[in-house]
Amino acid sequence: MLIAGNWKMNKTASETVEFCSALRRRIGGIAEEVDVAVFPPFTSLAAAVRLLATTEIAVGAQNVHWATEGAFTGEISAPMLRELGVYAVIVGHSERRQLFGETDETVVRRAAAALEAGLFVIACVGELEEERDCGDTDAVLRRQVSALTEDDRLVVAYEPCWAIGTGRTATPDQAREAHDVIKSLLDVPVLYGGSVTPGTAEELLAQPGVDGALVGGASLDVDSFAAICESAIRIRS
């Protein structure tokens, strides 16, 4: 089971040093019982890698470009991330799709480049609120997931867009149904993401087909993130 913390555009490098030092003390021992990863902003990656290098906590990036180099202002390539010691990347997060024009095609290209470079990939999929209201969740997930290629280093995160940063969370039944659709298309681990908190984590993680969580806001606080990791351990045992 994997618990991944997506920090989004939060924490400076100095704040990352403080957080990672506290995280080591808080979950250094339990990180061997459940897979844990944090995804800081680009400017904090080096600090996170340095602080967590001797632990079982992995460090990932929140995005990656499909080219290895070139005239792509503001982008980061997989070789650059590998040189930093980064272990994984997130691609296709709903905020990237909705705010920055990501498409299924660009998500696939980013994922393929990262996998080819030896990085693990968390590829995000999920429906808009209006798509769920119209009964199109299944079709949306099939379109997004079918574009991906199965790989041993690929993880899919189901994150209903209407639950991102809203405080709303999919019901356990909704999460299970979506994960069943994804797993019918790809034989890969599937995480749930969407306002995961210490209060909702255990019930969601206990659902069949839920292999972990992609945590947003709750990953910014050491105690709340640790509590979610501890929930994952209880589910595994």
- Active site amino acids: 93, 159
Residues contacting residue 203 through CB under 8 Å, at least 6 positions apart: 172
Q: If you compute the radius of gyration of the chain from its CA atoms, what whole number of angstroms results?
A: 17
Task: Find out whether 200 and 172 touch, Cβ atoms under 8 Å.
Answer: no
Cα separation of 144 and 108, whole Å?
9
Task: Find out whether 135 and 97 touch, Cβ atoms under 8 Å.
Answer: no
* Cα–Cα distances in angstroms (integers) from residue 221 to residues 23, 32, 37, 153, 225, in the given order: 9, 20, 14, 28, 6
